[in-house]
Structure 1
Amino acid sequence: MAEPSDSNQWKTLDKDLNRISQIEYATSYVARPLIGPGIALAFMVIAGFAAALLFGTYPNNMIVVAAAVFGAYMALNIGANDVANNMGPAVGANALTMSGAIIIAAICESAGALLAGGDVVSTISKGIIDPSGMEEIRVFTWAMMAALISAALWVNLATKVGAPVSTTHSVVGGVMGAGIAAAGFTAVNWPTMGAIAASWVISPVLGGVIAAAFLALIKNRIIYQDDKIAAARKWVPILVAIMAGTFAAYLALKGLKRIVKIDLETALLIGLAIGVVTYFTTRPMIRRQSEGMENRNKSLKALFGLPLVLSAALLSFAHGANDVANAVGPLAAIVHANEFGAFAGEVAIPMWVMVIGAFGISFGLFLFGPKLIRMVGSQITKLNPMRAYCVALSAAITVIVASWLGLPVSSTHIAVGGVFGVGFFREWHMERRLRNNSANQGKPKSIPAEERRRRKLVRRSHFMTIVAAWIVTVPAAAAMSAVIFLLLNALIR
């Protein structure tokens, strides 16, 4: 009987090796979506170990460890959802690449949280509930734990469906739901809740109106001028100075709580001074940059690129300084209650809690952030550097106006409202120009309904999804928190 030849043996071996390589390729392809959740889980475990080591051997050590794990989970979800509002417009306008935006946001968010983050936070989320209505520390601890878990779950769900929601409102809803379950409806400060509900409407509308107003100014004074470059040399330094002054006031008001307490009037004076200095500094720079540019809109976009990147970085720093403390507030409350055996309206945030928040945001941004960044930056409406600049500027101005009016607002609602404002203004402006052109040419002024639908510049499906998510954020987080509190209170006595 003839033995198999060497060539047949090699062919068989090649086939077997090819099958093995195909299996390895399929395994790596299937495992790829699990890399992000795996890293996130590892970070949560590390946060738990860090809490076990740093908190010490207090009687309720395991409760703090569990809270640290859920606090890390919350921080990951903030990075995946909330940071997109700051970086999305810059990415959508092609002023930043996705990787560049993620790196800048991670650095600025972490720096804002660790360098300028508030060292004191209201554990009951700006007076939403009265902790004195809770009879004992155990009840208060489970209420804060339920608020933390429900807020994290809701933000995670919103990220899955592609809806940027307010982290602060999620925490507020969680605290309210747990407070009602623990001490009844009388524990809730309903006037404060009414002000928060009003901000759902006021902040995005105000952000949209301001963004649309600046876009109208840019179109009127620069884009539609015969000599666009000359107009840009006059107006761009003014716009950059407004941006610098606004962000200086914004950071002084919101981002420097740990260093010094600044009132609104002082913050506005600081902003005015910075704005004047910026104007005289950028005027010659813009003149040099615009030399040799062609008289077209594409040239104008280059002049707004760097200011847009700087505004996105400053927004991320201010967000890290202001919102991270709110997100880890329930965790700080649990740590304080179990360390001192008492709860308080305001407590100091331990540095290790802020580190969990800062690093969690960075990890969440790297692992899961691109989805929402693309949504805010390009899928709602088309942005260029000038439109994105208007969105970033409106966010800072709206926060200052809201602080002056004493309204609790969400940076998420403001930024996304600015994107919607820019998009709807473009729709209105385009329809108006078409009507004027038709009138000048002797054609009917009315535009057919199908043509009007075809020219929509804001995707209505995203608009409805986001608005619906905003409306149900507080009640959904509250309902989940109440259920989680009742389960914790029933299972662990």
Structure 2
Amino acid sequence: MDPYSPELLWMVILGFILAFFLAFAIGANDVANSFGTSVGSGVLTFKQAVILAAIFETAGAVLIGYKVTDAIRKGVVDVSVYEGSENVLVLGMLASLIGSTIWIFIATFANAPVSTTHSLVGGIVGFSLVARGGDGLNTGQLISIVISWFVSPALSGVVAIVIYTLIKYLILRAGNPFKAGLISLPIIYGLSFFINFLAITFGGSALLGMSHLTTWMCFVISIGVAIAVALIIQFTLVPWQKRKVLSEANSSGNNVTIPPHTQYQINTVLSLENGKINEAFESKDVEVAAIDNTGNLTPNGSTVALDATLADQKSGMVETLFHYLQILSAVFTAFAHGGNDVSNSIGPLITIWMVYTEGSAMQKSESPIYLLFYGGIGMVIGFALLGRRINETIGKKITKIVPSLGFTIETAAAATVLLASKLGIPVSTTHCIVGAVVSLGIIYGHTDDSGKRVNWKLALSMFSAWVITLPVAGGISALVMYFFKLGFGF
């Protein structure tokens, strides 16, 4: 087929429209998953989540989305079987877009977080079975994708448990939790930037001029960025957060009301001086001798432990640090999600575009950056307009999310998705996040009013939706392809 064949022009136009609708649907369902825990824990408002998604989902799509996009457009089916019948491949990709879009919109309006990866892969398999039967299905790649659907949530859950266990014993249960939290800030920020920059540079996009970078150059760049970020955080963000959190804690401390001369048995890690929380955080036993008319506490030096309300305040001060860390992890997740799941909407479109511009089913050129950008924009718009529904399901209804848990969930899911993106394996961001949420809920979760840590009814209903996603999306795609086959006689 000749490049820019007029025969394919209408298909290209329809492909752009359908890809935008699929990107929109993915934004409404899948991007909402990425920010569910941040909004659910109260760290971010929905509007702030949309702004961050606009920046970092698109950045992830452009900077690291090429590998998974290539796996979607050329890995699920062997495109060589469509040489000489490129129009059939293009029609098949249109069918897969239609099948995936319909199912994801249905799931979104049913408040069901589903795997858009399942949907798109199912759609491609569905059209391929109608067009070529079993011929052309890349069984090996397909098996690796299917295995990843089970491994990725389990891996994300294990990573989440490991990270939170470290946080619990190194920070939350440290002798001085707040100080430990402040010390950890530059380390965590530096590691996050190291991982992200290594993902961008190592095996990076040729279109961005990164394919020539050697392994040692990638590590030098990433380590340099990490050290620079850690130093900036240490000398700017850490002092600011210390002042801010202490100020907020002292302000709330003025409203503590407890009976005078009452002893409380609780492990004391705070101290009181003139009714205020001491910045040094040295352990000191005090007795509340009096409470003035403003509610301030006055210690008199006798042995007594702090009121439980103040212990909660101690925990809240450390959790406040995780407010800011969770913003970082939300950005990390958005970047990873953009890099992996943009392929679900743009992979078929790039196939259509490449066949149109090259006149060949083989699509030898690398995924164009502008089409990855197009997919990223579509996802953000979908998230902004319809994402609130799924956002609440992930962030509030499975288990209670506090900032430290939310940070851990997002970091574990992002790391898992980012690794898969660099390996060129399309995985479900939904599965990774829910895997981390449920795993932490089981072990470290907070009980709800009914005494349960995890809403198993909701979790099982979500699992059921995951199971039917591939066959439903594949079935719709196969039906559309069947009508195409009847209409075009191939």
Q: Which TM-score bucket, shorter chain as reference?
A: 0.7 to 0.9
Partner residue in 2 for 1:221:
170
| SS of 2:354 mapped into structure 1 | helix
Partner residue in 1 for 2:12:
64
Partner residue in 1 for 2:40:
92
Shift of 1:256: 5.5
Partner residue in 2 for 1:232:
181
Matches of residues 396-411 of structure 1 in structure 2 within 5 Å?
Answer: 396-399=414-417, 401-402=419-420, 408-411=426-429
Residue in structure 1 matching 2:325, options 307, 312, 326: 307
Cα pair distance change 1:232/1:341, threshold 3 Å: closer
| SS of 1:101 mapped into structure 2 | helix
Paired residues of 1:254 and 1:322 also in contact (CA < 8 A): no
Matches of residues 319-468 of structure 1 in structure 2 within 5 Å?
Answer: 319-349=337-367, 353-354=371-372, 356-399=374-417, 401-402=419-420, 408-427=426-445, 454-468=450-464
Residue in structure 1 matching 2:238, options 280, 286, 295: 286
Paired residues of 1:121 and 1:346 also in contact (CA < 8 A): no
Q: Residues of 2 paired with 1:318 and 1:235: CA distance?
A: 23
Partner residue in 1 for 2:482:
486
Paired residues of 2:340 and 2:418 also in contact (CA < 8 A): no
Q: Residues of 2 paired with 1:403 and 1:175: CA distance?
A: 19
1:182 to 2:131 alignment: yes
| SS of 1:357 mapped into structure 2 | helix
Q: Percent identity?
A: 31
Shift of 1:410: 2.8
Q: Residues of 1 paired with 2:126 and 2:340: CA distance?
A: 23
| SS of 2:27 mapped into structure 1 | helix
Cα pair distance change 1:405/1:68, threshold 3 Å: closer
Q: When the two structures are superposed, what TM-score results if normalisation uses the length of structure 1?
A: 0.75
- The CA RMSD over aligned residues, in Å, is 3.2
Partner residue in 2 for 1:24:
none
| SS of 1:343 mapped into structure 2 | coil
Partner residue in 2 for 1:105:
53
Q: 1:358-384, CA deviations, whole angstroms, 9 ceiling, x for partnerless residues?
A: 332222112111111111221211112
Shift of 1:282: 2.9
Shift of 1:487: 1.1
Cα pair distance change 1:248/1:355, threshold 3 Å: closer
1:197 to 2:146 alignment: yes
Paired residues of 1:241 and 1:279 also in contact (CA < 8 A): yes
Partner residue in 1 for 2:291:
none
Structure that is richer in helix per residue? 1
Shift of 1:481: 1.5
Matches of residues 140-159 of structure 1 in structure 2 within 5 Å?
Answer: 140-159=89-108
Shift of 1:402: 4.7
| SS of 1:188 mapped into structure 2 | coil
Structure number with greater CO (CA < 8 Å, separation at least 6) is: 2
Cα pair distance change 1:357/1:278, threshold 3 Å: closer
Paired residues of 1:117 and 1:255 also in contact (CA < 8 A): no
1:82 to 2:57 alignment: no
Q: Residues of 2 paired with 1:330 and 1:408: CA distance?
A: 14
Mind listing any 5+ residue stretches in structure 1 that lack a counterpart? 1-54, 432-451
Q: Residues of 2 paired with 1:332 and 1:479: CA distance?
A: 23
1:128 to 2:128 alignment: no
Shift of 1:318: 3.9
Paired residues of 2:189 and 2:230 also in contact (CA < 8 A): yes
Cα pair distance change 1:404/1:367, threshold 3 Å: closer
Partner residue in 2 for 1:50:
none
Paired residues of 1:71 and 1:356 also in contact (CA < 8 A): no
Cα pair distance change 1:355/1:267, threshold 3 Å: closer
Q: When the two structures are superposed, what TM-score results if normalisation uses the length of structure 2?
A: 0.76
Cα pair distance change 1:395/1:269, threshold 3 Å: farther
Q: Residues of 1 paired with 2:342 and 2:421: CA distance?
A: 18
Q: 1:231-276, CA deviations, whole angstroms, 9 ceiling, x for partnerless residues?
A: 3233344333333333333344588664213677765565444444
Q: Residues of 2 paired with 1:418 and 1:231: CA distance?
A: 24
